[in-house]
A and B are shown apart, each in its own frame.
Chain A
């Protein structure tokens, strides 16, 4: 089960990367990166998954005493939460940049922005 979701995550990463590396349109690149980010997040949570266990919340269903045997690993979930927020920040920033770049040239083709080279 975990392997299936891992594979899905990795596939998303590769698809996202392929999109980001082959689409010249900046917006498409950004979207591709969000797909890859999503893939990374899927990979993160998949690693924390454990069969036949429940969410790491110690309510009446999972008394604190049995927690260690009943809940799944909370750490990947924490990490994924942070990773999502960070990914969101980077995406917002890239979009803002994309806007500025568009205002600069009237185009979103990445090959239009090659003034700096060599």
Chain B
């Protein structure tokens, strides 16, 4: 009780700090110089309609690479954490009852659609809201659906790892090519910017988006699979 009160008091003080931040906060009325630069240069320098994607993949590309790496790390570590506590053979997935007609059939129907949507979101990241992460997450939801429908199912480990590695390597490779042939690491102008607003435009953004999408999908699938393999309830 005392402990909770102490925690309450501490959080109250922290809250008062937050409160002063809020009270002192004045929403901007003009874009600050960074944002203004992005708004005015998105078209000519990056060629992406979606400024968020332009910033994410080009100007703050290093962050994004790091972000992908976070997922990669998480997948690797989750697999390390869980590989050491695999459930005894037979207790895992295979012993479960089938998940029922509705789910199985529904999955079969939905999967292609999900894959299509995922691909679309990935490829159009520079034009519309969306991008590699969103698309990858959609793809992974397909994988989740598959696992739900058939718990004993195994994805090809090899394929997942290959996709994961290859897309990651390609991302780094594109960055390095940018250093060699354009203005710096992950410079977008490695490829021509193309026509503003077209699908094949905005330099390497669509490629990077697809790579990110593949990587994110693969990482999620790998995490899901690691989690699934421990199923022993």
Contact = CB atoms under 8 A, between A and B. Distances in A.
Direct A–B touching, Cβ under 8 Å: yes
Contact of A75 (B29, B55, B230): B55
What DSSP secondary structure best describes chain A's contact surface?
Answer: helix
Chain B CB count within 10 A is highest, among A7, A89, A95, for A89
A110 interface: no
Interface in A67-97: 67-68, 71, 73-75, 77-78, 81-82, 85-86, 88-90, 92-93, 95-97
Interface string B123-164: 000011100010000000000000000000000000000000
Interface in A8-67: 10, 13-14, 17-18, 21-22, 47, 49-51, 55-59, 64, 67
B221 interface: no
B22 A3 contact: yes
Interface of B: 3-4, 7-8, 11, 14-15, 18-19, 21-23, 25, 27-29, 31-32, 34-36, 38-40, 42-43, 49-52, 54-56, 60, 63-64, 66-67, 70-71, 73-74, 77-78, 81-82, 84-85, 127-129, 133, 196-197, 223, 226-227, 230
B interface majority secondary structure: helix
Contact of B55 (A57, A78, A85): A78
